[in-house]
Structure 1
Amino acid sequence: MDVVVTGASGNIGSACVRELAHAGHDVRGLARRRPDGIGSGQGSVAWVAADVATDDLAPHLEGADAVVHLAWRFQPTHRPEVTWQTNVVGTRRVLDACSRAGVPAVVCASSVAAYSPVDHDEPVTESWATDGASGAAYCREKAYVERLLDDFEAGHPQTRVVRLRPAFVFQRSAASEQRRIFGGALARPWMFDVRRIPALPVPTGLRLQAVQSGDVGRAVTAAVERPVSGPFNLAAEGVLRRDELGELVGARTVPVPPGLVSGAMAVGWRARALPVPGSLFDALMHVPLMSSERAARELGWRPEHDAAHAVGQMLDGARLRAGSGMPPLHR
């Protein structure tokens, strides 16, 4: 199959390109910046420099059997009009281009953060409301994209639309990027060395699901190949709470009031010392746990890595300054 991937050089995109090419598909990777040392084509992957927010996308989608839309900007959080232009307007432009090019299948990355907040630990199915886990721009934009997909599905019944809602996605080669995005200049690589962590502060009530990027790539490949549609949760085995996080880093844990963390992040963000606002931490504390039973049943999805392994890859990668030739994933 001929598959176009937007945001192909990012954390999820780079893994999807690998998995799709490994499965024998011809891949067109669209990214704002072409990867280092790679020409217009390499093996079954052809790279195209294109910005979903501004460029004419329909010519790049002509003849595609499926479009996998992953393009997304997390920063700058102090300029939400910039992220909105890429994340929301860009998604609308991709869907419009898919319509004009007659693409028969669209696979779009949503997120656990699109879900409405919960006050329980019962795993939710894909039927849970998607109004955003907090007022953070990331959550608001993910929820708005869900509405764009609703409208697109209603107006294009002939197009197969799949939306994937992964938990927090990690891989070793994306660790330096994620350290920069979420920690900024204050988060230095040595801070992720477990030998330097005598005690780990953990917000009371924190529980975290995660998934490795390659496992998301395998789910995307299955969604491209199988005649499925609708939403799919993607979360690896295991839920990380205080005890599991302490075991992961080999340190004793110290409970911290969530309000204290949220308030400190809000102050740091307003002072531009931290790159993410406290509202994003609020989302982390209130996103639901997800059931991935539908993905297992209809996609045949069995993640190769559990949640602890995915988070461990990020910690190791951040400590070792891991990265790749993909521009967003530079060391």
Structure 2
Amino acid sequence: MRIVITGASGNVGTALLRRLAAAGSAHDLVGVVRRLPEPVGPYESVHWHSLDVAGADAADRLRPIVAGADAVVHLAWGFQPTRNTDYLSRVGVGGTAAILDAAHAESVGHLLHMSSVGTYAAGRYGCRVDESWSTSGIASSPYSRDKSAAEAVLDRYEHAHRGTGVAITRMRPGFIVQRGAASGQMRYFLPGYVPMSVITHLPVLPLDRRLCIPLVHADDVADAFARALDRGAAGAFNLAAEPPVSRDDVADALGAKAVHLPSAVLGRLVDLSWRARLQPIDRGWLDMAFSVPLLDCGRARTELGWQPRWSAAEALRDVLGGVADGAHTVSPPLRRRSPVEQLRRSVTVGAKTVRHLP
């Protein structure tokens, strides 16, 4: 198969490249990213194209790239800059529309879209939902709003073409982690002046005791994508490991003492510190963590034969081990995180919450 993958050097993209290589298949892989990775390791046997899917001409530039492809895997998404949500929407929602337009114009048979548990509406926190649950998102979370809006783009396309256009798969995983993404994820979510190893030395974890979130390892998400590619499976699929992660699970993995801090209080602190530019994530992330439902993954098990190899606890320990060790890859999104480099970039090109390249 000829497979085009947007965001192929990121968290899930890296895992998917590993998964496809491990399968021993002679796929022709094409990667679309903003910043080209070094062609080593999982990034070696890929034909790379540099392109920002947020660009006004993205659909036109994508057409020759996806021409002749059997499938397109759309993983590209933005997490920063949180103070420029217009740009993040152009990446997430506009990028989804652009890749869909290009795939349709070039008669690509299959589009696999990276959605998220964040696309789901609130109302069933701590309870499981299947893929029929509302995808209206969490209003206070820009990330969730964009995931919901991106799915609405797919909805309109499917309604307009009624089975005659590109077959669409929507993967809706829980929070995705892996060791090799630790530096990249901490660069998005931790203040630049804080060494990431501090996370694993916290004596106390102040967090609401109600926390209960779906978590899944990137390797297992990649396996679901590979299975959907092999089967040509369309529709939506929830993906999560068991059991869901609680506050006490996080505290145990960190070796910290859990202390109850109501989510409303913590949310206010997150909001104030973000507005004061002391840390880079908006309150919407916390609101989402205490609003999204758990996931019923029966459809993925039945139709894809999917079963996660990593339990949620194992996945959590894997990424926290990566945080402790400063784990990274050579790709730009997952490169080594250095507080010195973060401070230098903040001075020379602006804070990560406003610049397009974290």
Q: Check whether TM > 0.5.
A: yes
Equivalence for 1:285: 290
Equivalent residue letter for 2:169 = V
Distance of 2:152 and 2:123 partners within structure 1: 20
Cα offsets for 1:24-65 (capped at 9, x unmatched):
1221111111102459x833x222222222241000001110
Distance of 1:86 and 1:162 partners within structure 2: 19
Q: For the Cα contact (< 8 Å) 1:134–1:282, is it kept in 2?
A: no
Matched, 1:111 2:84: no
Q: For the Cα contact (< 8 Å) 1:117–1:134, is it kept in 2?
A: no
Where does structure 1 differ by over 6 angstroms across 4 or more consecutive aligned residues? Answer: none
Cα offsets for 1:252-310 (capped at 9, x unmatched):
31111111110000001111111111122011101001111110110111111011111
Equivalence for 2:347: none
Equivalence for 1:52: 53
Equivalent residue letter for 1:18 = R
Equivalence for 1:169: 176
Q: Which 10-residue stretch deviates more, 53-62 or 166-175?
A: 53-62
Distance of 1:280 and 1:242 partners within structure 2: 16
Q: For the Cα contact (< 8 Å) 2:211–2:246, is it kept in 1?
A: yes
Equivalence for 2:243: 238
Equivalent residue letter for 1:6 = T
Matched, 1:21 2:26: no
- Please give the secondary structure, in 2, of the residue aligned with 1:274: coil
Runs of 5+ consecutive residues of structure 2 not aligned to the other structure: 337-358
Equivalent residue letter for 1:143 = S
Distance of 1:152 and 1:22 partners within structure 2: 34
Equivalence for 2:89: 84
Q: For the Cα contact (< 8 Å) 2:213–2:293, is it kept in 1?
A: no
Equivalence for 2:354: none
| TM-score, normalised by the number of residues in structure 2 | 0.88
Cα offsets for 1:52-94 (capped at 9, x unmatched):
2224100000111000000001110101111111111111011
Q: Which 10-residue stretch deviates more, 237-246 or 73-82?
A: 237-246
Q: For the Cα contact (< 8 Å) 1:20–1:27, is it kept in 2?
A: no
Distance of 1:241 and 1:186 partners within structure 2: 28
Give 1:247 deviation, angstroms. Answer: 2.4
Q: Which of residues 217, 238, 245 in structure 2 aligns to 1:212?
A: 217
Equivalence for 1:9: 9
Equivalence for 1:67: 72
Matched, 1:135 2:140: yes
> Percent identity, aligned pairs only?
39
Equivalence for 2:229: 224
Equivalence for 2:349: none
Equivalence for 2:128: 123
Q: Which of residues 170, 189, 192 in structure 2 aligns to 1:182?
A: 189
Matched, 1:34 2:54: no
Q: For the Cα contact (< 8 Å) 1:113–1:132, is it kept in 2?
A: yes
Distance of 1:311 and 1:77 partners within structure 2: 25
Q: For the Cα contact (< 8 Å) 1:108–1:164, is it kept in 2?
A: yes
Q: For the Cα contact (< 8 Å) 1:164–1:232, is it kept in 2?
A: yes
Q: Which of residues 81, 104, 107 in structure 2 aligns to 1:102?
A: 107
Distance of 1:226 and 1:108 partners within structure 2: 15
The aligned length equals 327
- Please give the secondary structure, in 1, of the residue aligned with 2:232: coil
Aligned Cα RMSD in Å? 1.6
| TM-score, normalised by the number of residues in structure 1 | 0.94
Distance of 2:247 and 2:88 partners within structure 1: 32
Runs of 5+ consecutive residues of structure 1 not aligned to the other structure: none
